[in-house]
Structure 1
Amino acid sequence: MIPKYRKQFNQEFSQEKYSQLKESLAQKGGIATAFRISESPLFLPNEFKSKLLEASESIIDQIKALPAEVLYKAVPDNCRVPNDTLQPHFFTIDFGICRSENGTIEPQLIELQAFPSLYAFQQVFEDTFCEVYPFLSEIRNTMPHAEFKNHLKKLIIGDENPENVILLEIFPEKQKTAIDFALTEQLLGIKTVCLTKVKKEGRKLFYENNGKPVEIRRIYNRVIFDELDRIPDLKAGFDFRDDIDVKWITHPNWFFKISKFLLPVLKHQFVPKSYFLHEFPEHENLDNFVLKPLFSFAGSGVNLNPTKEITEVIEDKENYILQRKVTYEPIFEDINGEFSKAEIRLLYIWHENEERPILLENLGRMTKAAMVNVDFNKKDAIWIGSSNAFFGEE
């Protein structure tokens, strides 16, 4: 895509520059990335960007039109957290990069969520690509750094002192996204705190900073609530379902409300047809669909080739969807003349009392395998892993 930039990048690429890219990211974050960094960015034409944005705006309109009680039904009874909000603070949406029947490259919706992604990391990642390959600066994201920081500061810190705002995670040092936590701390001056280190007194929460208890007033939440029960002997400092005197950024209920739960009701030419498993019609062919758990994360539990034998033994069919298969098009040429496929995640934030979310950044993921997950690739594959998209004229 965008032959001019692809040709120049492939000509300039070297293993030394790839090492420089990774080392610079590790130096900036103070920690190495625990996930694979792709050697290459994605180059996508502005025409494709227009399709992405048009589809996203339509999806946002449809979500805004849904009654609150419909969305609330998505939250499992045992996961409902008090003091819900009118809208989420984050909105991310994933599109596969596919080829249509008429031969044009188009996006196809894969999934969407109201959960924070690698916001701080992706901007640093884009910067670092531009430092190693200076010609990329002419097609980089046009949002100034100060504006990007102000948006996240307003959203996450609000009017509070950064000391009273924490990034909350379970054993953050063990998470693959730890570098994003470190970069968020640098960007906003907040602390990353493990759920086990939080203490509850009455309706208030506290964490220890330099040996002193500090009240927590806002939580930048990176904990996936429904995963808590899967960690044996977890000694959490409080229960998410407690009525506590904190502001959630974003409220845990939205993880369920904006999720694959919405795919069966969304309609657009770039939204593949989806059904809840218990509502799958007889006239459809199961071979044309992918089976997905409603609230899985990072591709967990996805079955690319479901059979009747597999679907019939699932007891909680209302917690699964069947989504029509889409074909990712291998169009990103590497230095060996082989091609990678990719998907792109648009990273929006949604300020309170504002009508629409704001697009801050994007995140790319490249693969040569059937799924966009590095674990499915050959060990010596290149042009795979986490990336960033640059848009320009063809």
Structure 2
Amino acid sequence: MIPAQREKFNQQFTIEKYKSFLEKLQEGYPEIPFRVAETPVFIPKALKDKLIAAGEEIISLIKQSNFKELTKNSIPKDWNVPNENAQPHFLTFDFGICKNEQGELSPMLIEMQGFPSLYGFQCHLANTFRQVFEIDNSLNHFLNGFNEEEYIQLFKEVIIGKHQPHEVALMDVDALNQKTAIDFFVTKKMLGIKILALEDIKKVGNQLFYEENGKQIQLKRIYNRLIFDEVAENIEIFKNSFDPREELDIEWVTHPNWFYRISKYTMPFLNSEFVPETRFLNQVESIPTDLENYVLKPLFSFAGMGVIIDVTEADITNILDPENWILQRKVTYEPVVKAPDGGVKVEIRMMYLWPDGGEPKLCINLARLSRGKMIGVRYNADFDWVGGTVGFMDE
């Protein structure tokens, strides 16, 4: 998207360099189970400014005094966790890069989450691209004036808070075997916190502990990477550890309820040139006659599962819980990244950190390249010049 930078990168690219890049990325860490793209994305200033503006519009909704009231029905009653705090610690907004009516590149919101993303790995990924390829120093993967030292300092503040690193743990069901485990290991190296599987944590009274060198150590704060959707069919798993829905003496980063409050559920409340028309299905009075221009999405699903792209009237009428679905106007991605054999579609994730009692700060980004019908690694397994990557933005 910055033609001179794209041309320079493509000219220096070789399969050997790409293999060397992957080896450096992997060095000292377990194998990365998802596809990392051959290239970063070069983002011109005009598009960066629109991405920033789009994010600010969404944040203004989240900061409204009535936001919790607006989203009170977003949390499934079986998964409401007590002691919710006043704000999320993370905001991630995914934008497809499209062309607007004026023919200019413009972002369109695809997904949003009040849940962590690859905050550690993206820093490592960008640094590795710079080590192997000639990335211009005028381009930055950080935003908002951050450098790496300032970013890590804010990351520590958000994750560790007022505690000691050994009192804080990154937690997931089977943490070391998750697809995103590379991010867990990079984060541990950056911050010095523990990585714990759910079953590594035991409850005594209302406090949580893990064992190290024969000693019981109390956890004060959990960097939560557990998505309830992934364990909904297996809640017996909590019996060997603790149930997050109980009253506990623990601080959450971020509190699990924010996963639901800031999600597809939030999109119908947004009215912006950067947000496709989105309605709760139970509020759609008449089925559009041009259904080919819409997509049907379940509110409670993970990684794009259950999405219906080629919607029919029967798909809509067969849904028994329309309050748990949204009908959204399709977004047409522009294949703006020039691969050696043609254009590739791109999605940019703008990633914010929100420290306790502070303001949300746009820090870093993630990008995904796609040639398939859907963005996402699982939908692009058979292509090259696709997968996870990072945006280098024109200052």
Secondary structure of the residue that 1:51 maps to in structure 2?
A: helix
Secondary structure of the residue that 2:357 maps to in structure 1?
A: coil
**How many angstroms does 1:137 deviate by?**
3.1
**How many angstroms does 1:32 deviate by?**
2.0
Q: Where does the alignment leave 5 or more consecutive residues of structure 1 unmatched?
A: none
Give the one of 311, 314, 319 matched to 1:314. Answer: 319
The answer as to whether partners of 1:373 and 1:385 remain within 8 angstroms in 2 is yes
Counterpart amino acid of 2:247? D
Q: Which residue of 1 aligns with 2:124?
A: 124
**How many angstroms does 1:350 deviate by?**
0.8
Give the one of 352, 376, 380 matched to 2:379. Answer: 376
Q: How does 1:227-238 map to 2 (within 5 A)?
A: 227-231=230-234, 233-234=236-237, 235-238=239-242
Secondary structure of the residue that 2:188 maps to in structure 1?
A: helix
Whole-angstrom distance in 1 between the partners of 2:11 and 2:48:
25
Secondary structure of the residue that 1:73 maps to in structure 2?
A: helix
Residues 71 and 124 (structure 1 numbering): CA distance in 2 closer, same or farther, change over 3 Å? Answer: same
Secondary structure of the residue that 1:119 maps to in structure 2?
A: coil
Tell me the percent identity. 43
Q: Which residue of 2 aligns with 1:8?
A: 8
**How many angstroms does 1:41 deviate by?**
0.6
Counterpart amino acid of 1:72? K
Counterpart amino acid of 1:256? Y
2:291 corresponds to 1:289: no
What TM-score comes out, normalization by structure 2 length?
Answer: 0.95
The answer as to whether partners of 1:334 and 1:340 remain within 8 angstroms in 2 is yes
**How many angstroms does 1:232 deviate by?**
7.1
Could you give the per-residue CA deviations for residues 147-190 of structure 1, whole angstroms, max 9, x where no partner exists?
Answer: 11110111110111111100010111221101000001101101
2:260 corresponds to 1:256: yes
2:328 corresponds to 1:323: yes
**How many angstroms does 1:236 deviate by?**
4.3
2:176 corresponds to 1:173: yes
2:244 corresponds to 1:244: no
Deviates more, 1:171-180 or 1:113-122: 171-180
Counterpart amino acid of 1:171? D
Whole-angstrom distance in 2 between the partners of 1:223 and 1:360:
23
Whole-angstrom distance in 2 between the partners of 1:182 and 1:375:
22
**How many angstroms does 1:66 deviate by?**
5.2
Secondary structure of the residue that 1:230 maps to in structure 2?
A: coil
Whole-angstrom distance in 1 between the partners of 2:38 and 2:90:
28
What TM-score comes out, normalization by structure 1 length?
Answer: 0.95
Q: Which residue of 1 aligns with 2:344?
A: 340
Deviates more, 1:270-279 or 1:227-236: 227-236
**How many angstroms does 1:101 deviate by?**
2.3
**How many angstroms does 1:302 deviate by?**
1.1
**How many angstroms does 1:255 deviate by?**
0.5
**How many angstroms does 1:335 deviate by?**
2.0
Q: Where does the alignment leave 5 or more consecutive residues of structure 2 unmatched?
A: none
Whole-angstrom distance in 2 between the partners of 1:105 and 1:236:
51
Q: Size of the alignment, in residue pairs? A: 389
The answer as to whether partners of 1:170 and 1:194 remain within 8 angstroms in 2 is yes
The answer as to whether partners of 1:130 and 1:137 remain within 8 angstroms in 2 is no
Q: Which residue of 2 aligns with 1:100?
A: 100
2:75 corresponds to 1:75: yes
RMSD: 1.5
